[in-house]
């Protein structure tokens, strides 16, 4: 019988309260030790790393690799290079692949969407190879696409040589990189993210459960992926959302299926108990209207090109403030996306986060008389300060 997640939180809170280190709202206690090789806890909104234990250590990722496989596939769907309804012919290589399977057969024609579900829910090695071959012509070429995406995301400690996570020389990742990848999946592809919460999938008359035990134990958990090989141990990348806050935990190298769920749940519980976040500005929302000289309009709408958020010790979010620094004299034309300032989040005098302020619209030059008049105004503005 599993323990409800709220009871797990009480147990964790009690263990931390009796720990030697005293804590307050501004002094977060140390995270609980985990029976694992490495782990990372990340706030999804800000990308802030709340806990990092050997998070940059390069380790075999096992089937956590399939997070990149499914992510690359989802990006190809977004770009219109493939459709969910497209049929994929299953090759003999895909069918013969060992390990966890979706149980597709040679010559079957399977829709891209079904293969994606077979990868995410059933961790199908056969589905991973079939989709890789369909998207890139071969698994080796698909691995190149995976590494290109890893570079775009700044995954400095990851390198992929296959689409499955099957043990291979030069195939590695890290807890920190997997947390970053999970964040990209959540933010960049919300449509397919719902698949990561599915508890089972039936194919070829075979019903297989999702191996992420936290989906059954904690109703706030809605993803992402498990992994296991003898070399890697039992690994899990999980995400949960409570009271509007989403956390991502990546745990590598536990010794059993039960342990990876328990240790990951412990890490998530710690984060929700002792941290909170605040989203100051959403991507694309108007932060301010900036005065514009010599333009077809007198102002230009400005905002941020990614959510501006921070995560801090619980009880301290009210101490945060923002500071906006804009171009002192902005002259048209201004292109959409052009950087025209910055915005900072401060706690006291400490800058916790900052982001570029960009133009949310294009404003062309104004007419001849507008430009002449504004030139005169700028002359006297400079003359008299």
pLDDT in tens, 95-141: 999 999 999 999 999 999 999 999 999 999 999 999 999 999 999 99
Is 299 found in the same domain as 356?
yes
Is 286 found in the same domain as 270?
no
Rounded to an integer, what distance in angstroms lies between the CA atom of residue 226 and that of residue 62?
9
Spell out, as residue ranges, where the chain has pLDDT lower than 50. Answer: 1-3, 11-12, 15-25
Position 378 scores a pLDDT of: 85
Is 304 found in the same domain as 258?
no
Is 165 found in the same domain as 38?
yes
Long-range contacts of 375-384 (CB under 8 A, 24+ apart): 375/294, 377/293, 378/293, 378/329
Tell me if residue 111 falls in helix, strand or coil. strand
Out of 123, 173, 174, 353, pick the active-site residue. Answer: 123
107 C-beta neighbours (distance < 10 Å), count: 10
Strand positions, DSSP E, 244-307 = 245-254, 275-281, 288-291, 299-303
The residue out of 275, 299, 331 marking a domain boundary is 275
Rounded to an integer, what distance in angstroms lies between the CA atom of residue 75 and that of residue 81?
9
Task: Work out how many domains the chain is built from and give that number.
Answer: 2
The residue out of 218, 253, 275 marking a domain boundary is 275
**In terms of residues, how long is the chain?**
385
Say whether 123 is catalytic: yes
Out of 66, 101, 180, 266, pick the active-site residue. Answer: 66
Rounded to an integer, what distance in angstroms lies between the CA atom of residue 346 and that of residue 361?
28
The residue out of 222, 245, 275 marking a domain boundary is 275
Q: How far is CA 297 from CA 310, 323, 341, 357, 371, in A?
A: 34, 25, 19, 19, 11
Position 381 scores a pLDDT of: 80
Rounded to an integer, what distance in angstroms lies between the CA atom of residue 206 and that of residue 201?
8
Is 244 found in the same domain as 291?
no
Cis peptide before 366 (omega within 30 of 0): no
Is 292 found in the same domain as 156?
no
Say whether 63 is catalytic: yes
Say whether 207 is catalytic: no
Is 321 found in the same domain as 204?
no
Pairing of strands 206-209, 221-229: unpaired
Tell me if residue 273 falls in helix, strand or coil. helix
DSSP 305: S
Is 249 found in the same domain as 120?
yes
Please state at what angle helix 65-78 crosses helix 112-120, rounded to 10 degrees.
Answer: 150
Tell me if residue 182 falls in helix, strand or coil. helix
Is 160 found in the same domain as 25?
yes
Position 229 scores a pLDDT of: 96
Rounded to an integer, what distance in angstroms lies between the CA atom of residue 139 and that of residue 383?
66
Token pair recorded at residue 272: 């929700």
DSSP 317: G
323 C-beta neighbours (distance < 10 Å), count: 11
Q: How far is CA 176 from CA 44, 167, 324, in A?
A: 13, 20, 31
- CATH number of the domain to which 338 belongs: 2.60.410.10
Position 16 scores a pLDDT of: 44
Can you name the residues that pair with 255 across neighbouring β-strands?
Answer: none
Domain extent at residue 380: 282-384
131 touches 91 (CB < 8 A): no
User: If we measure between CA atoms, which residue out of 146, 133, 152 comes closest to residue 93?
Assistant: 133
Is 61 found in the same domain as 168?
yes
Rounded to an integer, what distance in angstroms lies between the CA atom of residue 143 and that of residue 134?
13
pLDDT in tens, 215-226: 999 999 999 999
Is 289 found in the same domain as 266?
no
Rounded to an integer, what distance in angstroms lies between the CA atom of residue 245 and that of residue 247?
7
124 C-beta neighbours (distance < 10 Å), count: 29
- CATH number of the domain to which 130 belongs: 3.40.710.10
**Cα Rg of the chain, angstroms:** 25
User: If we measure between CA atoms, which residue out of 129, 123, 162 comes closest to residue 146?
Assistant: 162
Is 227 found in the same domain as 290?
no
Out of 38, 63, 100, 353, pick the active-site residue. Answer: 63
Position 11 scores a pLDDT of: 47
Position 102 scores a pLDDT of: 97
């Amino acid at each position: 019988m599993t323990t409800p997640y709220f009871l797990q939180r009480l147990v964790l809170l009690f263990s931390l309260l009796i720990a030697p280190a005293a804590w307050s709202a501004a002094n977060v206690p140390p995270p609980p030790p985990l029976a694992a090789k490495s782990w990372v806890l990340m706030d999804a909104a800000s990308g802030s790393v709340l806990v990092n234990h050997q998070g940059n250590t390069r380790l075999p990722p096992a089937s956590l690799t399939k997070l990149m496989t499914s992510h690359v596939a989802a990006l190809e769907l977004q770009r219109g290079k493939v459709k969910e309804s497209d049929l994929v012919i299953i090759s003999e290589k895909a069918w013969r692949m060992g390990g966890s399977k979706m149980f597709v057969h040679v010559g079957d024609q399977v829709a891209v969407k079904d293969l994606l579900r077979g990868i995410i829910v059933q961790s199908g090695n056969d589905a991973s190879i079939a989709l890789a071959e369909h998207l890139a012509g071969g698994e080796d070429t698909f691995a190149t696409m995976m590494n290109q995406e890893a570079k775009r995301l700044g995954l400095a400690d990851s390198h992929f040589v296959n689409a499955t996570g099957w043990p291979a020389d030069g195939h590695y990742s890290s807890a920190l990189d997997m947390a970053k990848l999970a964040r990209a999946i959540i933010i960049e592809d919300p449509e397919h993210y719902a698949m990561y919460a599915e508890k089972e999938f039936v194919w070829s008359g075979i019903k297989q459960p999702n191996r992420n035990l936290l989906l059954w134990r904690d109703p706030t958990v809605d993803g992402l992926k498990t992994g296991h090989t003898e070399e890697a141990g039992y690994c899990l990348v999980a995400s949960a959302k409570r009271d509007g806050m989403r956390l991502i935990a990546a745990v590598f190298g536990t010794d059993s299926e039960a342990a990876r769920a328990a240790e990951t749940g412990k890490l998530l519980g710690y984060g929700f108990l002792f941290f909170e976040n605040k989203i100051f500005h959403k991507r694309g929302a108007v932060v301010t209207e900036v005065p514009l000289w010599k333009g077809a309009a007198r102002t230009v709408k400005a905002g941020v090109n990614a959510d501006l958020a921070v995560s801090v010790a619980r009880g301290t979010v009210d101490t945060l403030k923002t500071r906006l620094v804009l171009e002192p004299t902005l002259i048209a034309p201004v292109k959409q996306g052009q950087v025209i300032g910055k915005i900072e989040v401060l706690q006291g005098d400490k800058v916790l986060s900052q982001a570029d302020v960009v133009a949310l619209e294009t404003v062309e030059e104004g007419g001849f008389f507008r430009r002449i008049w504004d030139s005169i105004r700028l002359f006297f503005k400079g003359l008299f300060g």
